[in-house]
Amino acid sequence: MSEEIPSKVWRNLRTVGSLAYYIGIVPMIRIPTLLPFVFATPFTILFILFVSGQPTLFAYGLAGAITMTAAQQGLFLGADLTNFKIEHKFQSVVVASPVSAFTYMFSVALSELAFAAPPLAILTAIIAYHTSGAGLPTVAGILVVAVFMWMTTSSIGFFLSTYVLNTRTAFLTITFISILISVLPPVFYPMSVLPADVRWLSELVPTTHASILIQGLSGLPVTPEQTVLSWIALPAFTAAFLALALLKARWREG
Amino acid sequence: MPSIIDARAVVKYYKGKEEPALDRFDLSVEEGKIFTLLGRNGAGKTTFLRIASTQLAPTSGSVSVFGLDAMSDARKIRRRVAITPQEAKPLWTLNPYDHVVLSLMMRGQTHSRASTKARQVLKTIELDEVAGVHSEELSGGLRQRILIAMTIACDVDLMFLDEPTIGLDPVGRRKVWNELIRLKQEEKKTIVLTTHYMDEAEALSDELAIVNRGRVLERGSPLEVRAKHSGSKIRVDVVSGFAAEELASYGKVTRAGNVARVFTDEASGQELSAEALRRHATISLAPVTLDDVFVELVGSEPEDEDGREETSESEERATR
């Protein structure tokens, strides 16, 4: 038994590693022109904020761009999984194998993260350069927030992919959700610009909390109460959506 | 031989459909055999394959695989099965070698073992020369062979192949047939496949079942099924020289393209041949084929246009 556990762990690691490598890293290496698609939307918004000539808005934009990149890549998991399921029938191959739903979701989500890694690295480097006194804790904090964001939206993406019935609907739905949660709430701008009576609404969106935390880590003004709330809310959203994905997503069809 | 798959009174309704895709479907498949499901589109073949391979839940009835319940023991079953789904496509940017290595490594094999096995399987089904070519640059037949390679490389006890040779040229089909027969004979694998090609069913199957409207109409070895339905009959294909009314006096007449096909006994067949010689008409005599038996059994049924099985993606319901 004691020998079986490490062997099982190694097997699972090979499963995760191979799926993430062949679905994420290999396409990125063989077709690097895919990368601009990941950069496009967040960097376009950031560019607009940059040319506006207001350094504070640009600083908020950096927090927003990191949040959007992580969120968007998580959601793209849903579009890719739908494509693998409907067009390639790859999910059929996976279901009829020892690979579990969670392992599959996690592996493909990791492959999406591989695509998000270059823009996240660039954005984090810009924040570190712009923020006086930013060191390893700041960078680590930003990456932790990005990972929470990616896990949350990956769960949403996986959940949606098991219900969406065609690839076109999947891409449209996911693009819509991405914009809905990354552009409308205070992700690229401070919460303080929202009227007081609608702020509670933005607290219901995980991207708000991710952006607030990155804003705080970047040296932008965030109250300690809000920081604490967001550090509680973001992992809570992650746990809730992960549970939803694993308990309610359809692996074997009924 | 013990049964490796045992299906009892399986019923499957898809959401929004009044007709069942499987209707009290009974079937057993013996270990170490090649078993073929034959049927028209929407007959229930793919639905059964998906249930037996633990991808789809039946509405009622039971399916056991390796003596394990396909619903409650799915995890144990999944370690020992692999499937080539119908109309699947390889993943873009990956080449045949990547596909087979991925198929093995996601089942937990090490890279070195997966790599060795991949090269061996790709050579066997003659994909070795294009092992490093992106799948989107390959022909449809070569892409289909990638999917078959992914399944046969897995070294599992039970393989499900849903229309595996569709799109393959005749030479490619025979390569696949030879490999499937080798897997059965040398490695004692059990293979369940569906096909529309009667020659494939005859060439490969130890046993076959003809399925229609969610039920098994007939089963047995190709020889048994043919003998049972053709008896001592022969088939006379008449190209020219006879009116349809005339031919009816010799036996049952059907149309097959430009040919009038007469199913008759040997004596009437000889009589018809003699008459054809006298008239210089073009005819040919042959034994009744599995194709004829299939058409006789299911040919009168209208094809299910609403797609009771393969379109199942649009009618999923939640279970785990």
The answer to whether B159 and B148 have CB atoms below 8 angstroms apart is no
Average confidence score pLDDT of chain B: 89
Residue-level length of chain A? 254
Strand partners of residue B12: B22
Phi, psi for A200 (deg, rounded to 5)? -60, -30
Which two tokens mark B309? 């099985």
Residue B261 sits at φ, ψ, to 5 deg, of -105, 120
Complex prediction ipTM: 0.85
- Tens of pLDDT, residue by residue over B302-319, are 555 444 444 343 333 333
- Compute the C-alpha angle B257/B140/A22, nearest 5°: 155
**For B124-159, what is each residue's pLDDT tens digit?**
999 999 999 999 999 999 999 999 999 999 999 999
Task: Tell me how many degrees the CA angle A201-A207-A210 measures, rounded to the nearest 5.
Answer: 115
- Topology of domain B3-80+156-226+301-315 in CATH is Rossmann fold (3.40.50)
CB A114 within 8 A of CB A24: yes
* CA-wise closest residue to B72 among B80, B81, B63: B63
Distance between CA atoms of residues A227 and A60, nearest Å: 15
Look at A51-55, A170-174, B20-24 and tell me which has the smallest mean pLDDT. Answer: A51-55
In A96-223, where does DSSP find H-type helix? 101-130, 136-161, 167-182, 199-202, 206-217
Token couple for B141? 């037949």
Give the closest of B74, B91, B313 to A90, CB-based: B91
* Interfacial A residues in 218-237 facing B (CB < 8 Å): none
What is the spatial distance between Cα A179 and Cα A175, in angstroms, rounded to a whole number? Answer: 6
What percent of chain A lies above the pLDDT cut of 90? Answer: 58
The predicted pLDDT at position B302 comes to 54
Question: B319 with A253: CB under 8 angstroms?
Answer: yes
Strand B190-195 to B34-39 pairing: parallel
Contacts of A98 in chain B (CB under 8 A): 75, 78-79, 107-108
| Residue percentage of chain B with pLDDT more than 70 | 92
- Which residues of chain B are within 8 Å of residue A13 when distances are taken between CB atoms? none
Rounded Cα distance between B165 and A111, Å, is 31
Measure the CA–CA gap between A72 and A178, rounded to whole angstroms: 6
Q: Which of A87, A163, A252 sits opposite B320 (nearest CB)?
A: A252
Q: How far is CA A55 from the centre of its chain?
A: 26
Buried/exposed A118-156: b ≥16 CB within 10 Å, e otherwise: ebbeebbebbeeebeebeeebbebbeebbebbbbbbbbb
Which of these, B2, B310, B112, B181, lies nearest to A18 by C-alpha position?
A: B112
pTM: 0.86
| Chain B residues touching residue A89 (CB < 8 angstroms) | 85-89
Distance from CA of A143 to the nearest CA of B (A): 28
- Per-residue pLDDT tens digits for B87-127: 999 998 999 999 999 999 999 999 999 999 999 999 999 99
Nearest CA in chain A to B84: A93
Choose among B55, B74, B79: nearest Cβ to A253: B55
Q: Is the model's pLDDT at B33 over the cut of 90? A: yes
Q: How confident is the model at residue A253 (pLDDT cuts 50, 70, 90)?
A: low
B106, B134, B150, B312, best to mutate vs chain A, most A CBs in 10 Å: B106
Instruction: Sort out which chain A residues have CB atoms less than 8 A from B54's CB and list them.
Output: 95-96, 252
- Which residues of B are less than 8 Å from A99 in CB distance? 106-107
Two structure tokens written together for B305: 């246009």
